[in-house]
Amino acid sequence: MKSVAVVLSGGTGSRLGGDIPKQYIELAGKPVIVHTLEQLQRCGAIDGVVVTASSMWEKQILLWKEEFALTKLLAVALAGSNRQLSIRNGLLAAERFMDKNERSGVIIQDAVRPLASVELLTRLIEELKEAPAVMPALPIIDTTYTSRNGRWVDGLLDRSTLFAGQAPEAFRFWPYLELYRDTPLEELCAMSGSCQLPYSRGWQVKIIPGEQRNIKITYAEDLETCEKLLLERRETS
């Protein structure tokens, strides 16, 4: 296997509220995570998928695999207590499926980003030919200020140099796995985004254009927006 996607599905959806985590809420006739997995299923550049999730959702995810013919889903690994540990667990679970090819790639995707296009996923894998890490991003369009106390402005940033990173991100699999295997857990847990660890180790991270529609479901109002866009995608596909 040359490329794999690790889908992070361990979130509890605390900011959204509700009875179940947001990635399992049904939108446009299917759970959010199923829409995300279907996009990976459609992407010819991705050979397999590993999901990291709470143990209580493993059986249900495997049932959805059968119901929606998600044949690329290889395994459901236990989610960690935070994003970084979930990435680590997903990489370790994917290791046995991967070719010993130094250019093997991995995409790190959020279960709650069901609108990432197949074109974006494909481009991320293609860009790994030139860079060890690739991140989609959108330029910041609003004037951006800093404030140490959240009440008074104490600085102004040059927005021409600012970008808002998105998931999914792509990495060369074996070096990325090595980083996550070798970094002490305490240091790992102090980091946030998928690119932070490789960037801190001197990796060059390439930015490619992100997608406005590639929203992350975070708040209740995002559900309505996302469902509308999913329905539009279904009508045009």
> What's the per-residue H, E or C state across 61-110?
HHHHHHHCCCCCEEEEEECCCCHHHHHHHHHHHHHHHCCCCCCCEEEEEE
Rg (CA), the chain: 18
What pLDDT score does 93 carry? 98
**What is the distance between the alpha carbons of residues 106 and 168, in angstroms, rounded to a whole number?**
10
| Per-residue pLDDT at 59 | 97
Question: Which contacts of 227-232 are long-range, i.e. CB under 8 A and separated by 24 or more positions?
Answer: 227/27, 227/28, 229/115, 230/27, 230/28, 230/35, 230/114, 230/115, 231/28
Helix (H) or strand (E) holding 235: helix 220-236
Upper half-sphere CA count for residue 123 (Cβ side, 13 Å): 14
pLDDT reported for residue 15: 59
CA dist., res. 173 & res. 99, Å (int) = 10
Q: Which domains does the chain have, with CATH numbers?
A: 3-136+164-236 (3.90.550.10)
H or E, element range at 223: helix 220-236
The H helix count followed by the E strand count for the chain is 8, 12
* Pairing of β 144-146 and β 155-157: antiparallel
The pLDDT of residue 13 is 61
Q: Tell me, what's the pLDDT at 32?
A: 98
Query: What's the gap between Cα 101 and its chain centre?
Result: 23
pLDDT for residue 1 = 76
5-38 residue pLDDT tens = 999 999 766 556 568 999 999 999 999 999 999 9
> What integer pLDDT is reported at residue 234 of this predicted model?
84
Alpha carbon 205 to chain centroid, angstroms: 16
- Residue that the structure tokens 């995810």 belong to: 61
The ranges of the chain with pLDDT < 70 are: 12-18
